[in-house]
């Protein structure tokens, strides 16, 4: 976590993906159709305290959220639901803080928080990438 805070002194965004060096930032996969994943992810995100869903664009599989930090900064978060095949869906997250200073690792923590909630809700469907 100290490393994340130090990186966060200069960087004010974080994102997940298959090629992420940090294993906690790797894409998460679920054994379900994109439509089912969309329903589950949207309903989970709407119930998360401290997060506000701003836009849902089902056709491209993106949900845009906003979160205000204790210090009053606003974070913009995009959750992408990607259809891998008819029975496998990936979820990636991009989080960025508004303003010119670093985020002290808060975007990293937000991503882990969202993944933790999704993994808890979708535990029965969690899959490892082949």
In percent, the amount of the chain with pLDDT more than 90 equals: 70
Q: Which of 19-23, 28-32, 68-72, 73-77 ranks highest by mean pLDDT?
A: 28-32
The pLDDT of 79-103, averaged and rounded, is 91
Count CA within 13 A, CB hemisphere, residue 32. Answer: 18
DSSP letters, 29-94, are EESS-HHHHHHHHHHHHHHSTTEEEEEEETTTTEEEEEEE-TTS-EEEEEEEEEEEETTEEEEEEE
Q: What is the mean pLDDT of residues 68-90?
A: 92
Give the C-alpha separation, 106 to 119, whole Å.
20
**pTM of the complete model:** 0.90
All structural domains of the chain with their residue ranges: 2-127
pLDDT band at 11 (very low <50, low <70, confident <90, very high): low
Task: Tell the CATH topology of 2-127.
Answer: TATA-Binding Protein (3.30.310)
**Residue 111: predicted pLDDT:** 96
Residue 130 predicted with pLDDT over 70: no
- Provide the b/e sequence for 9-23 (b: ≥16 CB within 10 Å): eebbebebeeeeeee
Q: Which residue has the higher pLDDT, 9 or 40?
A: 40
Taking only the tens place, the pLDDT of each residue in 40-78 is: 999 999 999 999 999 999 999 999 999 988 778 899 999
Distance, in Å, from the CA atom of 121 to the CA atom of 48, rounded to the nearest integer, reads 12
Model confidence at 7: pLDDT above 70: no
Enter the DSSP assignment of 41: H
């Amino acid at each position: 976590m100290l490393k994340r805070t130090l990186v966060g002194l200069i960087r004010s965004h974080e994102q997940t993906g298959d090629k992420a060096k940090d294993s906690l930032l790797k894409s998460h996969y679920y054994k379900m159709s994109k439509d089912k994943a969309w329903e589950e992810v949207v309903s989970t995100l709407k119930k998360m305290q401290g997060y506000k869903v701003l836009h849902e664009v089902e056709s491209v599989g993106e949900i845009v959220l906003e979160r205000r930090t204790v210090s009053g900064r606003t974070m913009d978060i995009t959750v992408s639901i990607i259809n891998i095949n008819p029975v496998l869906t990936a979820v990636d997250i991009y989080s960025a803080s508004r303003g010119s200073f670093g985020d002290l690792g808060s975007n990293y923590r937000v991503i882990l928080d969202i993944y933790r909630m999704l993994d808890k809700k979708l535990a029965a469907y969690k899959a490892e990438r082949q």
